[in-house]
Amino acid sequence: MLAIRFGHNLGILALLGALMAPLTAAANSLLIWPIYPIIESHQQASALWLENRGRQTVNMQLRIFAWSQEGGNDHYQPQQTLVGSPPMMTIAPGERQMVRLLRQASTPPGQEQAYRIIVDEIPALAANDRVPETPRAAVRLQMRYSLPLFVYGEGASPPARLANSGTPYPGLTWRVVQQGGQPQLEIRNAGQHHVRLSQVAFEQSGQRAEITEGLLGYVLPGQMRRWPLPPGLRPTGELRAHVSGVGHRISPE
């Protein structure tokens, strides 16, 4: 099965930081919501909306990939468990398009499964463009958006937001590793749900060393993710982060 590594084969995926707000591109004013879609255990489908707030008609393609994390990186794989309907759409200025995210097969009981929704804008051929000989050659990507999608089996449910009690977030641990001669922050998730990390920093004696002020990324259940540390940052003190918008400490390994 083909594995697609985040940031390489998929090219210009939308910046994850943009997922903290409705996905909008200034060039074509495309609005996508909800930005954190889920399919709960009792649901067979969920809705995703695309709205064209620009002045030109846009052609869009939607695909859904299985999402895993190996070697500290995100990977995508083709899958047939979920489909988006319709997968291709043309949206006129001021119009909205609903896409149904459909479960084609059952999710294992008690499990959360992760996917990525990739939405590509496909520019129309200009009048003087030569029509390519193959359909593949006709696809010229202009904008690309990436959204997380989590699907739950029977007995499983989306993670609850834990209150900031000052105690470490359960199941999360961190350490600093060297990769390619560069220090990287490694975070492991031994829990049963994904975590969304933002505002990550080391704190000591009232001093705060920022790793990121916005969204750092996700760590999927039972998996590990790595991020390069900013140049000159010293990983001392406690690691603190917002998990789904709530501040927590993360325990060292």
Residue 42 has pLDDT above 60, yes or no: yes
Residue 54 to residue 187: CA distance in whole angstroms: 40
Asked if residue 241 lies in contact with residue 197, where contact means CB atoms within 8 angstroms, the answer is yes
User: Do the bridges between strand 4-5 and strand 112-121 make them parallel or antiparallel, or are there none, so unpaired?
Assistant: unpaired
Note whether 199 and 131 are same-domain residues.
no
Q: What is the arithmetic mean of pLDDT over 37-45? A: 98
CA 154, CA 163: separation in Å to the nearest integer?
26
Beta pairing class for 38-39 and 144-152: parallel
Closest CA relative to residue 215, chosen from 12, 36, 46, 39 = 36
Instruction: List pLDDT tens digits, range 223-235.
Output: 999 999 999 999 9
Provide the domain limits for residue 246: 168-252
Out of 126, 152, 178, a domain closes at 152
Query: Which of 152, 184, 216 delimits the end of a domain?
Result: 152
Same domain, 131 and 229: no
At 53, is the secondary structure helix, strand, or coil?
Answer: coil
Model pLDDT for residues 145-156, shown as the tens digit of each residue? 999 999 999 999
Rounded Cα distance, 253 and 238, in Å: 12
Q: Is residue 163 part of a domain?
A: no
Question: Structural domain tally of the chain?
Answer: 2
The DSSP bridge pattern shows strands 82-85 and 30-33 to be unpaired
Q: Both tokens of residue 113?
A: 């499964």
CATH of residue 35: 2.60.40.10
Question: Does residue 237 lie within any of the structural domains?
Answer: yes
Q: What is the mean pLDDT of residues 55-72?
A: 96
Domain end (from 110, 127, 152): 152
167 pLDDT tier (thresholds 50, 70, 90): confident
Q: How far apart are alpha carbons 212 and 18 in whole angstroms?
A: 14
Residue type, 101: L
Q: What angle do CA 73, 79, 81 make, to 5 degrees?
A: 120
pLDDT category at 65 given cuts 50, 70, 90 is very high
